Structures are given as structure tokens and as C-alpha cells.
Amino acid sequence: MGLVPWTKAKRWKCIRCGDCCIEYMVPITYWEALKYSRIYGVRVKMVANRLILKDAGVSCPFLIFKPYQSVCTIQADKPRVCRLYPFVIRMSPIEPHEDDSALYEYGDRTFYVYLQDRCRGIGRGPELEDILPNVIKFWLEAYGSRRRRR
């Protein structure tokens, strides 16, 4: 997985290509696994001590293809990891990007924000500077308290 610092990507927009819904393994939380199996009847696997909604290279059970776009049938209820794609947020820089190109200030906190370089939406849509406050806010709500305990 190659990463691009947010300042080099400059723009991003989901183009609904569906690549991320096929290419990547989807780890989910215990509560997501419980919800998806109860509400949608999806079978969840345990792989290397992680709950997995789907394996890499296999189409997501919630993905459907329509002319010129892919659609998530649970868009409003999709896993956190899917909502954050293609963003990778860290508290310290990731090698080899140890300069400040990924640095992002949010309130009184510093984050290092990257995008997975395989996403075809990089370079399209609105400027990342306008999107990142909402991305960081969601990340903090989803994972922030757990990350602080480490």
C-alpha cells in the first residue's frame, strides 16, 4: 500500500469506481460485526485475531454495480474503515514521509494524514483542506479515544 501525504494529493472525491470495495480486506469492530450479521445476515470471519467483513480481492457483499458507478447498498451504515477510505491518519509521520508534507493541525492537535495512492479519486473534487476537518472529526469520534489509551 503506497501512501501520499495530503498536501501532495491536494484534492479528493469518491468517484464510485468500486475498486476499494473489491481490492481490500475490511476489518470491522465487534459491534459492527454483530450489527451486520443480525440486520443483514452477513457472515463475518475471524482472521489473525481480527473480525473481517470480507477478504481482499473479493467483492463486498454490499456492493452492486450500476451503469458507470458502483453503489454501496448500506451507504449510510457502512463500516468505519470504509467511511475513512482512502485516508490514513496517524499521530506521527510514516516513513518515508518524515517531512511535514502529511502534517495537519486540527484544533490543538497534530495529525499526519495520508491517502492510499491506489484510489482513483485522488486529484479530483474539492480541495483536501476543505474536507479534512470532517475526516479528522469522524476519525476522532470513531477511533480517537481508543488511540489515546495506547
3-class SS string, the chain: CCEEEHHHHCEECCCCCCHHHHHCCEEECHHHHHHHHHHHCCCCEEECCEEEEECCCCCCCCEEEECCEEEECCHHHCCHHHHHCCEEEECCCCCCCCCCCCEEEECCEEEEEEEECCCCCEEEEEEHHHHHHHHHHHHHHHHHHHHHCC
Strands, sheet with 45-47, edge to edge from the N-terminal-most edge strand: 26-28, 50-54, 45-47
- CA separation for the pair 68, 71 (Å, rounded): 10
Residue range 62-87, pLDDT digits in tens = 999 988 889 999 999 999 999 999 99
Query: Would you tell me how many other CB atoms lie within 10 Å of the CB of residue 85?
Result: 20
Q: What is the pLDDT of residues 19-63, one digit of tens each?
A: 999 998 899 999 999 999 999 999 899 988 899 998 888 889 999
pTM: 0.87
